[in-house]
Each structure stands twice: as structure tokens, then as C-alpha cells.
Amino acid sequence: MIRQYSPQRFRYQTIRVGNHERLVCVGTVPVGTIFRCAPEHSRRERSLIVEAWHPREIKAWRKTEEGWQSTFVANGGHLATVRDLGNGSRFQLADHFIRFCVEHWT
């Protein structure tokens, strides 16, 4: 996902769906944000970039029009795929950690 939908900290943005415009809550850290952080297990700061936001998947049986479905996507996904700009490794981080780094190290 390019945007983080329905997070705890958000701003309003108008998106276009077909011929209609809709006002939605999107996250304050967009894809492409470069930030620095110092993980607990490392003493050096690392530069990271947000590559994608993941929707929150819930594993539960629920009845739909097509029958029973075991997983569905809910609002408020909070995991992002980030890439380390120093070595190219990719991993997932929670939005609260990313927001903390953006506010304190940039």
C-alpha cells in the first residue's frame, strides 16, 4: 500500500475513486520517507527508507456473500517494509518506532 489507512495519528486526504472524491484518514509517514534510527542492538545510526505499508490481516472465520472466509483485511495496519540504505536489507518495522525516529533523529 502506498498510504497507511486509519492509523492512530493521521491527516485527512482526498482520494479519487472513479468519478467520486472521498475524504480518508491517511498516516503521517508516507512511502519514500527517509529517516535515521539507532536500534538497541547497534551503536551506529542507520538510514532507512519506508518502501510499503502492509494492511492488517485478521485470521478469523467470517461469513461473506461467497461463503466462509478465513482471513480479511481490517483498517489500521501498522507494519511497514523498510530498507536499510547502507546494506540494502529489508525488514518490517512498526509505525510507532518509525514515527519516534522521524520526530527525534531528523
Q: How does pLDDT run across 53-64, given as a tens digit for each residue?
A: 877 776 677 777
Q: For residues 25 and 9, what is the distance between their CA atoms, to the nearest angstrom?
A: 9
Give the rounded percent of residues in the chain with a pLDDT score beyond 70: 76
| Closest-CA residue to 81 (of 66, 89, 72, 91) | 91
Q: For residues 76 and 20, what is the distance between their CA atoms, to the nearest angstrom?
A: 23
Which distant-in-sequence residues (6+ apart) come within 8 Å of 88 by Cβ? none
Residue 99 has pLDDT above 90, yes or no: no
Report angle CA 44, 42, 95 to the nearest 5 degrees: 95
Residue 1 has pLDDT above 60, yes or no: no
| pLDDT the model gives residue 88 | 93
Q: How does pLDDT run across 61-88, given as a tens digit for each residue?
A: 777 788 887 766 666 667 889 999 999 9
| pLDDT the model gives residue 71 | 67
Average pLDDT, the chain: 80
